């Protein structure tokens, strides 16, 4: 047999020699450039070093190159050779512009490496981009105006949302999550160590993400997926100005001297310094055209400050500005969610608890939420919670809410994946004591009718659900105390779409009484609660919402049998269905080893 050698991921000796030689060349080039930075001599070799990022096929060489360029860029920033505007010579300005262009090309390459098939390159590129934010922003702030290095940060956000392919020629474009989708390790690292921790990075990310998602030139089909995968896990939005205390860029941590902070707004007796030039006015400022709605009424009218008059540094210390950036980002994302049912489902699942409480004007998502409810199905069920929150907390006028909710109660809802969530929401929606008894009777009756054909787990949810409603609304007790009548016909109209016109209050809950004869002992026992005085405390619905066939079977299998069944028989030795010589089943049921004929006779 031929000698079959196992393939190994270790490089061959020739490849190791080539890689070692390349790394030595990179180190030599890096040292010469660092000397040139200090001496003020030519930096032209920097272009060749940056070009190695996209030309090298060896990941180890690429890894060495990006860290070498990173150290050179840091040295340039510390030497004051980047981004500063001054009265230098024309030649010095040209050199600065050339260096800024090289840094921009390096940032673009790093953004592409976030999709590389080598994890070390992905993590290294992300760490370098985040670290450069600090160093490059210092060069911007050296001009006297605190701000982030915008072009570099935009490359980072573009790499996280659009996910361009890796510039390395041997990287697999179909690796991991696929083309155009953010890698899970990159997402988790950025989310857990940066986006949910540092207030300034979150503020700038939300602002730039909104710009990208609102751009007419956006052609990435997965940008909405990438942004939602970050926003749905963002659970550290500040709710008090005291919570704005963690900053990635150290210069932003110090509060502005002329800004007087409060829990809801920022006012000042004197004008803050601001740059009113067209270049300094970003798109986000137009969102602050009106006064903060939560501004204190005690502040003199002439001394109130509009938020769009604040500098970036001052805005970072204002709670309302963080909410505005958050709102702006979600409003830019919502139009893209309508294109995907899966994305809409994920967004609706976090809308009521993770989105609406942090928006400046939650009513702005009303049309999208109402459209999801009208769509029906699982999307409609999830949209009900957000719609109810808008009605209850934000004065949304939606008179057909309970009609829409009533329409969701059909045979399908007893079998849906989100059945437990629907019962939780319905219990919340029907909890008000101001709802008319006619409306409540329709919901109770319809659920009782559907329970006749529902699976056992759904019946176990329905019985305590109806009991809690009857106990909370005594006006419905007539439905279980109807006097028996001859030739009785149920007046309930199951085809009526309006819960106010079904005539359910004149009906009875005979369907629940029928469950007292259910084959499953737990259901028949539970349904007997309606035949007893209503002295039992309301059920905790959480104990009944997560039942499935598996849990019901496990409960019955583990039940202790206190007394043996009366009809127990000893299983005799022999075959249950004796076979004939030709392999078939014998037609003689008269005796022998046929256990079946001993138990039953067939005429």
Domains of the chain: total: 3
Separation of alpha carbons 107 and 114, rounded Å? 11
Q: SS3 letters for 105-149?
A: HHHHHHHHHCCCCCHHHHHHHHHHHHHHHHHHHHHHHCCCCCCCC
Separation of alpha carbons 171 and 108, rounded Å? 16
**Final residue of a structural domain among 172, 196, 225:** 172
Is the model's pLDDT at 421 over the cut of 60?
yes
Considering the domain architecture, whether residues 579 and 549 belong to the same structural domain is answered as no
Separation of alpha carbons 545 and 422, rounded Å? 10
Q: Give tens-digit pLDDT for 24-41.
A: 888 989 999 999 988 888
- CB-count exposure of residue 568 (10 Å: 0-12, 13-18, 19+): exposed
Considering the domain architecture, whether residues 546 and 415 belong to the same structural domain is answered as yes
| Residue 245 within any structural domain of the chain | no
Segment among 236-245, 410-419, 573-582 with least mean pLDDT: 573-582
| Residue 340 within any structural domain of the chain | no
| Residue 430 within any structural domain of the chain | yes
| Residue 299 within any structural domain of the chain | no
Considering the domain architecture, whether residues 518 and 585 belong to the same structural domain is answered as no
Separation of alpha carbons 553 and 561, rounded Å? 15
> Residue 481's pLDDT band (boundaries 50, 70, 90)?
confident
Considering the domain architecture, whether residues 459 and 596 belong to the same structural domain is answered as no
Segment among 128-132, 254-258, 363-367, 475-479 with least mean pLDDT: 254-258
Instruction: Tell me the pLDDT of the chain averaged across its residues.
Output: 83
Considering the domain architecture, whether residues 498 and 570 belong to the same structural domain is answered as no
| Residue 460 within any structural domain of the chain | yes
Phi, psi for residue 299 in degrees, rounded to 5: -70, 130
Separation of alpha carbons 385 and 390, rounded Å? 9
| Residue 110 within any structural domain of the chain | yes
Considering the domain architecture, whether residues 24 and 167 belong to the same structural domain is answered as yes
Considering the domain architecture, whether residues 32 and 168 belong to the same structural domain is answered as yes
Considering the domain architecture, whether residues 470 and 601 belong to the same structural domain is answered as no
How far, in Å, are 336, 343, 370, 399 from residue 382 at the CA level? 18, 12, 11, 19
| Residue 373 within any structural domain of the chain | no
* Residue 24: predicted pLDDT: 84
DSSP code for 467: H
Is the model's pLDDT at 263 over the cut of 60?
no
- Supply 428's token pair: 């919340």
SS3 336: helix
> Residue 325's pLDDT band (boundaries 50, 70, 90)?
very high
Separation of alpha carbons 565 and 567, rounded Å? 6
Considering the domain architecture, whether residues 589 and 487 belong to the same structural domain is answered as no
Considering the domain architecture, whether residues 436 and 536 belong to the same structural domain is answered as yes
Among residues 441, 410, 420, the alpha carbon closest in space to that of 545 is found at 420
**Final residue of a structural domain among 172, 191, 217:** 172
Considering the domain architecture, whether residues 26 and 54 belong to the same structural domain is answered as yes
Pair 437, 505: CB distance under 8 Å: yes
| Residue 83 within any structural domain of the chain | yes
Domain span at 42: 19-172
Considering the domain architecture, whether residues 472 and 576 belong to the same structural domain is answered as no
Q: Give tens-digit pLDDT for 157-173.
A: 999 999 999 999 988 88
Q: SS3 letters for 396-460?
A: CCCCCHHHHHHHHCCHHHHCCCCHHHHHHHHHHHCCCCCCCHHHHHHHHHHHHHHHHHCCHHHHH
């Amino acid at each position: 047999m031929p000698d079959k050698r196992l393939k190994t991921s270790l490089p061959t000796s020739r490849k190791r020699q080539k890689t070692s030689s390349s790394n030595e060349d990179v180190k030599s080039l890096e040292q010469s450039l660092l000397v040139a930075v200090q001496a003020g001599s030519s930096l032209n070799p920097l272009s060749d070093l940056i070009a190695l990022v996209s030309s090298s096929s060896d990941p180890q060489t690429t890894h060495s190159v990006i860290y070498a360029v990173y150290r050179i860029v840091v040295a340039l920033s510390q030497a004051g050779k980047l981004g500063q505007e001054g009265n230098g010579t024309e030649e010095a300005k040209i050199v600065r512009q050339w260096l800024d262009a090289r840094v921009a090309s390096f940032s673009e390459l790093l953004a592409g490496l976030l999709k590389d098939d080598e994890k070390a390159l992905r993590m290294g590129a992300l760490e370098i981009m985040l670290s450069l934010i600090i160093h490059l922003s210092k060069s911007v702030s050296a001009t006297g105006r605190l701000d982030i290095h915008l072009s570099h940060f935009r490359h980072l956000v573009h790499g996280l949302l659009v996910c361009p392919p890796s510039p390395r020629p041997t990287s697999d474009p179909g690796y991991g999550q696929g083309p155009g989708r953010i890698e899970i390790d990159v997402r988790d690292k950025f989310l857990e160590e940066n986006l949910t921790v540092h207030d300034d990075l979150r503020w700038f990310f939300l602002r730039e993400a909104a710009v990208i998602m609102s751009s007419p030139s956006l052609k990435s089909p997965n940008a909405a997926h990438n942004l939602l995968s970050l926003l749905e896990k963002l659970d550290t939005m500040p709710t008090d100005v005291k919570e704005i205390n963690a900053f990635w860029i150290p210069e932003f941590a110090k509060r502005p001297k002329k800004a007087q902070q409060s829990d809801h707004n920022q006012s000042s007796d004197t004008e803050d310094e601001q740059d009113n030039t067209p270049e300094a006015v970003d798109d986000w400022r137009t969102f602050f055209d009106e006064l903060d709605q939560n501004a204190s009424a005690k502040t003199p009218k002439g001394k109130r400050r509009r938020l769009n008059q604040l500098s970036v540094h001052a805005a970072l210390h204002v709670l309302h500005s963080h909410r505005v950036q958050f709102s702006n980002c979600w409003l830019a994302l919502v139009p893209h969610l309508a294109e995907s049912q899966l994305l809409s489902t994920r967004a609706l699942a976090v809308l009521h608890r993770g989105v609406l409480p942090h928006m400046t004007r939650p009513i702005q998502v009303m049309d999208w939420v109402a459209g999801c409810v009208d769509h029906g199905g699982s999307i409609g069920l999830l949209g009900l919670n957000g719609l109810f929150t808008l009605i209850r907390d934000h004065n949304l006028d939606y008179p057909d809410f309970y009609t829409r909710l009533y329409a969701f109660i059909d045979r399908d809802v007893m079998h849906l994946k989100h059945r437990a969530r629907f019962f939780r929401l319905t219990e919340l929606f029907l909890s008000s004591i101001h709802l008319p008894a006619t409306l409540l009777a329709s919901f109770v009756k319809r659920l009782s009718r559907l329970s006749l054909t529902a699976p056992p787990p759904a019946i176990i949810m329905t019985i305590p659900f109806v009991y809690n409603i009857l106990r909370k609304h005594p006006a419905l007790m007539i439905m279980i105390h109807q006097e028996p009548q001859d030739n009785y016909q149920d007046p309930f109209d199951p085809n009526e779409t309006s819960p106010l016109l079904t005539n359910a209050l004149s009906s009875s809950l005979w369907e629940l009484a029928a469950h007292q004869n259910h084959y499953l002992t737990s259901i028949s026992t539970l349904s007997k609660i309606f035949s007893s005085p209503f002295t039992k405390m309301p059920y905790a619905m959480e104990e009944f919402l997560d039942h499935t066939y598996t849990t019901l079977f496990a409960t019955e299998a583990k039940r202790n049998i206190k007394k043996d069944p009366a009809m127990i028989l000893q299983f005799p030795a022999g075959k249950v269905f004796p076979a004939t010589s030709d392999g078939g089943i014998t037609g003689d049921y008269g005796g022998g080893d046929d256990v079946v004929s001993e138990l039953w006779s067939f005429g």
